[in-house]
Amino acid sequence: MQPAPSPAAKPPPPAHIAIIMDGNGRWATRRGLPRVAGHRAGADAVRRTVTACGDLGVRFLTLYAFSSENWKRPASEVSDLFGLLRLYLRRELAELHSNGIRLRVIGDRTRLPADVVELIADGERVTAGNSRFTLVIAINYGGQAEIVSAARRIAEAVKAGTLDPSSIDEAVFESYLDTTDIPHPDLLVRTSGEQRLSNFLLWQTAYTELVFTPTLWPDFGREALEEAIDEYHRRDRRYGAVGA
């Protein structure tokens, strides 16, 4: 008897996946629950997704946890979101570390509660030597503010005479971004059916494949992640060149 043909090997997953976690509020409202219940369920989806990315061999996962525009939400919701972030940073750090996961946080820390800044610094310090996988959490992050901050610091370096304007190219500009030394995302997923970037990684997504799924973030997990990765594999990435 002929041996069964071996299934085609799966292509490697995208090295860097970025996710706009959307739909927590709608998830809660549909169940007659307060919005915070959606955010709590969203934090569980974060845990599932981090585990799934680790299992699948993804090297970088960037999560949009709190945008610079999210301060416009009611104070009680902002406080609930920071409560969940605190809890995550306190409770998950040991687990992230023991799984060889490095933690990085991008965004403007100057407006964050002091204890959250401390938790972030501790998490980054403890996990700095880990290299299996990097979890990047965007907190008080806005792509336009990140680009403006880079431009301001470049202007200061030029004014101080330490940077020659003629040497400024994409690589130099990039070295002033929060994401310096993090590769650009290969795949960006936005949940809940909305189809926009909402100020997330504006510079870094120049050639990123965008996948929009109707799944609400609290329902997201390994299966939805694998579906997004399958969709990514069906895309033809040309980076402005001609296809094969």
Q: For binding to ligand FPP (CB under 6 A), which residues are involved?
A: 21-26, 39, 42-43, 46, 63, 65, 70, 81, 84-85, 88, 137, 192, 217
In whole angstroms, what is the distance from residue 51 CA to residue 74 CA? 31
Question: Which C-beta is closer to ligand FPP: that of 60 or that of 176?
Answer: 60
Phi, psi of 185 (to 5 degrees): -65, 140
CA gap 82, 116 in Å, rounded:
8
Q: Tell me whether residue 22 is one of the annotated catalytic residues.
A: yes
The one-letter amino acid at 58: V
Rank residues 145 and 163 by Cβ distance to ligand FPP and give the closer one: 145
- Which pair of tokens denotes residue 111? 């407006």
Secondary element (H or E) of residue 58: none
Q: How far is the CB of 134 from ligand FPP (least distance, A)?
A: 14
Q: Which is nearer to ligand FPP, 43 or 229 (CB)?
A: 43
CA nearest to 101, candidates 116, 88, 82, 112: 88
For residue 55, the minimal CB distance to ligand FPP (Å) is 19
| Cβ distance to ligand FPP smaller for residue 28 or 150 | 28
- Token digits of residue 158: 């030029």
> Which residue, 91 or 238, is less far from ligand FPP as judged by CB?
91
Give the C-alpha separation, 66 to 181, whole Å: 22
- Cα separation, 202 vs 116, in Å, equals 25
154-179: buried (b, 16+ CB within 10 Å) or exposed (e) per residue?
A: beebeeeeebeeeeeeeeeebebbbb
Nearest-approach distance from CB 128 to ligand FPP, in angstroms: 19
Sequence-distant (6+) residues with CB within 8 A of 210 are 188, 190
Give me the phi and psi of 24, to 5 degrees please: -60, -45
Tell me, yes or no, if 70 is annotated catalytic: yes
Taking the complex as a whole, how short is the minimal distance between the CB of residue 26 and ligand FPP, in angstroms?
Answer: 3
Q: Which of 22, 80, 178, 186 is catalytic?
A: 22
Query: For ligand FPP, which residue has the nearest CB?
Result: 25
Among 24, 70, 140, 164, which one carries the catalytic annotation? 70
Least distance (Å) between residue 207 CB and ligand FPP: 25
Instruction: Give the catalytic positions in this structure.
Output: 22, 70
